[in-house]
Amino acid sequence: MSHTIHNDNDRLQLLGALGASAVDDLFSAIPETLLLRRLDLDPGLPESETREKVEDLAAANRPSGPLSFLGAGCYRHYVPAAVSALTSRGEFLTAYTPYQPEASQGTLQSIFEFQTCVSELTGLEVANASLYDGPSALAEAAFMALRLTGRDELLVSAGVHPEALQVVETYAEGPELTVLRQALDPVSGTTSTKTLQLSTATGAVLVSQPNCLGVVEDLTPLAEAAHAVGALLVVSTDLATLGILESPGMLGADIAVGDAQVFGNAPSFGGPSVGFLACRMEHLRQVPGRLVGRTLDADGRPCYTLTLQAREQHIRRAKATSNICSNQALGALAATIHLALLGPVGLRELGEICLQRAHHLHGLLCEIPGVRPLVTGPFFLEFALALPCAAEAFAQAMRTQGIDPGVPLLRMERGARPVFDPDLSAGRDEPPPPPTVPAENVLLVAVTESNPPDALARYAAAAREVLAGTEPRPQGTR
Amino acid sequence: MMTVSGGESLIFEKGIPGHRGSHLPTAGVPAADPAVLLPGVPLREEPPSLPEVAEPQVVRHYTRLSRLNYCVDTGFYPLGSCTMKYNPKLNEEMSALPGFAALHPYQTEDQVQGVLRLMYELEQALLTITGMERASLQPSAGAQGELAGILMIKAYHRDNDGTGRDTVIVPDSAHGTNLASAAMAGYRVVEIPSSPRGLIDLSTLRRHLSERTAAIMLTNPNTLGLFEEDILEISRLIHEAGALCYYDGANLNAILGKARPGDMGMDVVHLNLHKTFSTPHGGGGPGAGPVAVGPTLEPYLPMPLVRPVQGEGVFTLDYDRPFSIGRVKGFFGNVGVMIRAFTYILSVGSDGLTRAGEDAVLAANYLRARLCDLYSVPHDGPCMHEFVISATQQAERGGTARDIAKRLLDFGIHPPTVYFPLTVREALMVEPTETEDLHTLDRFVDVMRQIDGEITNDPETVREAPHHTPVRRPDETLAARHPVLRWQKPRSDEFSEPVSG
């Protein structure tokens, strides 16, 4: 099936108007040697058969459900039906970037509302119209902080998600920045502040709140330490926790980023999600990406428009604050609608449910012989367990009972740097104390309102069964 | 798009204290105070000022907002370099299938074989279409594909004694992202002037090539809608100078099934699935910007890649890529967008893709031929999928390209891209795509002719356009001088509107 709509008659008419005899005449600028005889793909299919083929591929997957406790940067929250009913409207879905404000007030106003939500939750005055995802937003925030400080060194906590660190390091190859890493305290699991590798070269300190082990960081001393050397604190945060936790802005963060996937957006195998970035008003001119502002139209009516575009690539070209053009507007709309449905009370309740269920499951699991918390720091909806066996083997055994018990630490670290990196003893940091649990035994468990109480009970019962008779492995090095 | 007088109030202004649109389950576990569960952790004291509205009000609010938008589903969108083709509805249903949408990125590979196969087959199709060797689907959008591509080029030069290569060449007709991406990758950017024919000038190019050249970034057909006839000579010169060729795939729709960047000697190509492969623009995103490479850059692709396991009929994520530039995005890319593009390619197939390119070019040439007597066309010869006209004659009579654009909105037509490329004064860049019928094309011509007449007879109407849109021209200066970027909860006094002047 083709979505081209002209028939041969139409084509003859179009060609006739051009005085051309064949469509190939229009391609005469392409050198003969480059012309393709035939595109070597299968012929098209009717819609019914296309559907069948794609549905077969979908059926070959085992989507996650209430018995999935996977998180590690992508969280399964319940999405109210109203969200997709609204975001699937063609008026939002098939609109272009709102460069023509007179014909784009719907998109523009929804982005203004998104900016307000992100600003409210992060406790920072300005939020942009979205970035690609959490990790790239962190990289953009790092670049922004270095422009603001005029420095070229980053200090990244080992509690930043390994994939996000990887994105920061990839982006850092461009301007050839120095990326230092700050170890986690092996007992508490929080970013160690005792030996912070800060100097007057440090432009930004990057931490995650909660961090990639689920631990809630103590942001205030980090902010104070960063500010003491003239650096900025960049915090990657989970909006779903911010109905309960104090906002990063109130705790001294200069820039907050993260992934608004947690609201309104299905996991979708990790994308598309919704990066966001918020900062203080004084740093407005260095914000990457689009911003929507309120103004008045020619008749004096309030309206919305893209503003401060002189920061952006289509105006400033090589001197833009970022190369970003397309962002994640539709995902930002979904997040906004979800937040509007939740409201302040719903957001708090959502946080409480996640928090209480996660702590309940944590308690049940830690009663099982051989299972203990990896670290002692406070956690919100995700926690790291030290198991008496390899986490992958445990996960595999749990899967036979239909349970995805969490993300083994090594799975999150695939192709990336380990969270407890022995290399962190190099450089200016002091060597971390030797770890007591092999990394392969560490499991990250995430609990949301999508995991009902009976799923928690089933998880605990199955885990007890699976782990029964598992002898603790000899304690080696991570 | 409906005409309403005045805008819609903000969702924040519609609330009634205590209202809510979503009811959550009870925790169902022993209750505990957050302060107890989070000892020593600072907790929020003031609730955030989120909307307090019930579901019907939320649905009405966003439905009403949606009706203030123009979109492909309601009208013609001849927006140059953006390829605003029709977005087939089947694609939406397929990407929303729970078998895809509910997949978590950290599920084990045996649970996600269907999506891995889809990603692999999509990659293969894109390689066939582009003539490249291997692709990463990870980049989130075209600009991120560009950054990935340029970082690969940088890594290649680093490994091949090319650290002195600090310059990327772009033609002056290039998209802004090209320059911004090269700069973000740490390169000096040199813009070279186009020839009077609107193409890359070989002698100018030769003059700028040196041992400092890392790459050229080009779009072919270029942003004037012209095919770079000397493309083979260009890539030969670039390679002879030890540099590499970057191909911006924004305009690939023109040459689908006709010519391939790989055959042109391109080393790296990004594609915009949201342009060429029919996925919706979503009011600015999400898109997807896969990046495809030839053999030179294959080792440097972002990781992981999806590859078949030999002889087992299954697919795996390959992290064993020691030369990879790393990641540009968390997880595997905008998979939801990939599913739509895959569905599109499957449904239109080889013939449909080729026909899409042909019909897009045919439609553009038709519009160009029918407009060229009134609007000046800066470059001769047939165009590809888009063309640029210059409204200089109209501007002399008092109607600029911007005015024409705004007046088009009154007729229910989205304007072409204006004031781009920068090489043409009063530029209007028109890309009709292959999915508009003859009536739509003819109506556009009629309206463009009518507006030209109005500029002579009734210039005020054009200069003050639009008149029939939900709002009229915004005061951009006010927006920039007094930035109001979020709603503020009114204190006891009221919400203060920005003041004009």
Smallest CA–CA separation between B115 and chain A, in Å? 7
* Predicted local distance difference test score (pLDDT) of residue B386: 97
* pLDDT bucket at B6, cuts 50 / 70 / 90: low
Of B346, B367, B394, which residue is a domain's last?
B346
Residue among B43, B14, B49, B58 at smallest CA distance from B491: B49
> DSSP letter string over B411-448?
TT-PPPEES-STTSTTEEEE---TT--HHHHHHHHHHH
* pLDDT bucket at A74, cuts 50 / 70 / 90: very high
Closest residue to A348, CB basis, from B39, B47, B146: B47
Number of domains in chain B: 2
Smallest CA–CA separation between B241 and chain A, in Å? 22
Round the average pLDDT of chain A to a whole number and report it: 94
Q: Is the pLDDT of residue B217 over 70?
A: yes
Answer whether A174 sits within 8 Å of B147, measured CB to CB. Answer: yes
* Predicted local distance difference test score (pLDDT) of residue B95: 98
Same domain, residue pair B300 and B426:
no
* Predicted local distance difference test score (pLDDT) of residue B41: 98
Same domain, residue pair B274 and B325:
yes
Does domain A344-467 fall under CATH 3.40.50.300? My reply is no
Same domain, residue pair B318 and B193:
yes
CATH number at residue B157: 3.40.640.10
Chain A residues with CB under 8 Å of B42 CB are 220, 245-246, 250-251
Same domain, residue pair B295 and B373:
no
Closest residue to A3, CB basis, from B278, B336, B469: B278
* pLDDT greater at residue A255 or residue B8: A255
Residue B487 lies in a domain: no
Answer whether B438 sits within 8 Å of A6, measured CB to CB. Answer: yes
Query: What letter represents residue A51's amino acid?
Result: R
* Predicted local distance difference test score (pLDDT) of residue A423: 77
Mean pLDDT, residues A261-282 taken together = 97
pLDDT in tens, B303-358: 999 999 988 899 999 999 999 999 999 999 999 999 999 999 999 999 999 999 99
* Predicted local distance difference test score (pLDDT) of residue A470: 67
* Predicted local distance difference test score (pLDDT) of residue A422: 82
- Name the burial class of residue B161, with classes exposed (0-12), middle (13-18) and buried (19+) by CB atoms within 10 angstroms of its CB: exposed
Q: How many CB atoms lie within 10 A of CB B35?
A: 11
Between CA A24 and CA A365 the distance in angstroms is: 69
> DSSP letter string over B310-333?
TTTTEEEEE---TT----SSSTTS
Closest residue to B28, CB basis, from A300, A331, A453: A453
Shortest CA distance from B140: residue in chain A? A132
Closest residue to B107, CB basis, from A100, A324, A404: A404
Domain extent for B178: 91-346
Q: Is the pLDDT of residue A477 over 60?
A: no
* pLDDT bucket at B162, cuts 50 / 70 / 90: confident
Q: Is the pLDDT of residue B31 over 70?
A: yes
Between CA A7 and CA B224 the distance in angstroms is: 28
- SS3 assignment, position B334: coil
Same domain, residue pair B122 and B169:
yes
pLDDT in tens, A91-116: 999 999 999 999 999 999 999 999 99
Chain B residues with CB under 8 Å of A63 CB are 98-103
H helices present in A203-328, as ranges: 219-228, 313-316
Same domain, residue pair B293 and B199:
yes
Same domain, residue pair B138 and B210:
yes
Structure token digits, residue B195: 């020839």
Structure token digits, residue A152: 């070229």
Strands B305-309 and B314-318: antiparallel
Q: Is the pLDDT of residue B499 over 70?
A: no
Give start-end residues of each CATH 3.40.640.10 domain in chain A: 81-334
Q: Is the pLDDT of residue A247 over 90?
A: yes
Q: How many CB atoms lie within 10 A of CB B32?
A: 15
- SS3 assignment, position A277: strand
Chain B residues with CB under 8 Å of A163 CB are 327, 330-331
> Are residues B422 and B172 in contact, defined by beta-carbon separation less than 8 angstroms?
yes
Of B318, B346, B374, which residue is a domain's last?
B346
Structure token digits, residue A252: 């001294």
**Is some CB atom of chain A closer than 8 A to the CB atom of B469?**
yes
- Name, in order, each residue with C-beta under 8 angstroms of B457's C-beta and a sequence gap of 6 or more: none
Smallest CA–CA separation between B349 and chain A, in Å? 4
- Name, in order, each residue with C-beta under 8 angstroms of B46's C-beta and a sequence gap of 6 or more: none
Query: Cα–Cα distances in Å, from B244 out to A98, A299, B157, B231?
Result: 35, 52, 9, 13
Closest residue to B469, CB basis, from A10, A103, A341: A103
* Predicted local distance difference test score (pLDDT) of residue B380: 83
**Is some CB atom of chain A closer than 8 A to the CB atom of B259?**
yes
For testing contact with chain B, the best of A1, A2, A4, A38 (most B CBs within 10 A): A4
Closest residue to B332, CB basis, from A101, A270, A342: A270
Q: Is the pLDDT of residue B501 over 70?
A: no
* Predicted local distance difference test score (pLDDT) of residue B7: 73
Q: Is the pLDDT of residue B498 over 80?
A: no
Round the average pLDDT of chain B to a whole number and report it: 95
pLDDT in tens, A401-442: 999 999 999 999 999 999 998 877 544 445 555 567 999 999
Residue B278 lies in a domain: yes
Between CA A370 and CA A376 the distance in angstroms is: 16
pLDDT in tens, A352-395: 999 999 999 999 999 999 999 999 999 999 999 999 999 999 99
Q: What distance lies between CA A447 and its chain's CA centroid?
A: 17
* Predicted local distance difference test score (pLDDT) of residue B4: 45
Query: Cα–Cα distances in Å, from B82 out to A97, A129, A282, A325, A412?
Result: 10, 20, 34, 12, 36
**Is some CB atom of chain A closer than 8 A to the CB atom of B141?**
yes
* pLDDT bucket at B189, cuts 50 / 70 / 90: very high
Residue B326: phi, psi to the nearest 5?
110, -140
* Predicted local distance difference test score (pLDDT) of residue A434: 55
Residue B80 lies in a domain: no
Same domain, residue pair B341 and B432:
no
Shortest CA distance from A97: residue in chain B? B284
Shortest CA distance from B126: residue in chain A? A41
Residue B24 lies in a domain: no
Q: How many CB atoms lie within 10 A of CB A175?
A: 13
Q: Is the pLDDT of residue A90 over 90?
A: yes
Closest residue to B258, CB basis, from A36, A116, A414: A36
Query: Which is it for the CA torsion A460, A465, A471, A473, positive or negative?
Result: negative
- Name, in order, each residue with C-beta under 8 angstroms of B303's C-beta and a sequence gap of 6 or more: A415, B136, B318, B319, B321, B324, B326, B327
Answer whether A58 sits within 8 Å of B100, measured CB to CB. Answer: yes
Residue B423 lies in a domain: yes
Answer whether A102 sits within 8 Å of B471, measured CB to CB. Answer: yes
Closest residue to A63, CB basis, from B21, B103, B327: B103
Shortest CA distance from A320: residue in chain B? B180
**Is some CB atom of chain A closer than 8 A to the CB atom of B78?**
no
Which CATH topology does A81-334 take? Aspartate Aminotransferase; domain 2 (3.40.640)
pLDDT in tens, B102-135: 999 999 999 999 999 999 999 999 999 999 999 9
Same domain, residue pair B462 and B433:
yes
For testing contact with chain A, the best of B12, B50, B272 (most A CBs within 10 A): B50
Answer whether B330 sits within 8 Å of A73, measured CB to CB. Answer: yes
Smallest CA–CA separation between B216 and chain A, in Å? 15
Residue among A455, A420, A437 at smallest CA distance from A70: A455
Closest residue to A270, CB basis, from B42, B227, B335: B335
pLDDT in tens, B397-439: 999 999 999 999 999 999 999 999 988 999 999 999 999 999 9
Q: Percent of chain B beyond pLDDT 90?
A: 93
Answer whether A74 sits within 8 Å of B185, measured CB to CB. Answer: no
Residue B76 lies in a domain: no
Answer whether A54 sits within 8 Å of B97, measured CB to CB. Answer: yes
| H-helix or E-strand spanning residue A171 | helix A162-172
* pLDDT bucket at A193, cuts 50 / 70 / 90: confident
> DSSP letter string over B97-152?
-HHHHT--TTS-GGGBHHHHHHHHHHHHHHHHHHT-SEEE---SSHHHHHHHHHHH
Between CA A4 and CA B201 the distance in angstroms is: 35
Structure token digits, residue B476: 């951009």
Between CA B144 and CA B278 the distance in angstroms is: 19
Question: Whose structure tokens read 């002195």?
Answer: B164
Answer whether B435 sits within 8 Å of A4, measured CB to CB. Answer: yes
Neighbouring-strand partners of residue B387: B430
Q: How many CB atoms lie within 10 A of CB A5?
A: 14
Same domain, residue pair B267 and B127:
yes
* Predicted local distance difference test score (pLDDT) of residue A124: 98
- CB-defined contacts A:B, below 8 A: 752
Same domain, residue pair B272 and B134:
yes
Residue B232 lies in a domain: yes
* Predicted local distance difference test score (pLDDT) of residue A425: 55
Structure token digits, residue B55: 């579901």
Query: What letter represents residue B104's amino acid?
Result: H
Of B306, B329, B346, which residue is a domain's last?
B346
- SS3 assignment, position A439: helix
Same domain, residue pair B287 and B373:
no
Q: Is the pLDDT of residue B245 over 90?
A: yes
- Rg of chain A on CA atoms, in Å: 25
Residue B55 lies in a domain: no
Residue among B443, B94, B438 at smallest CA distance from B278: B94
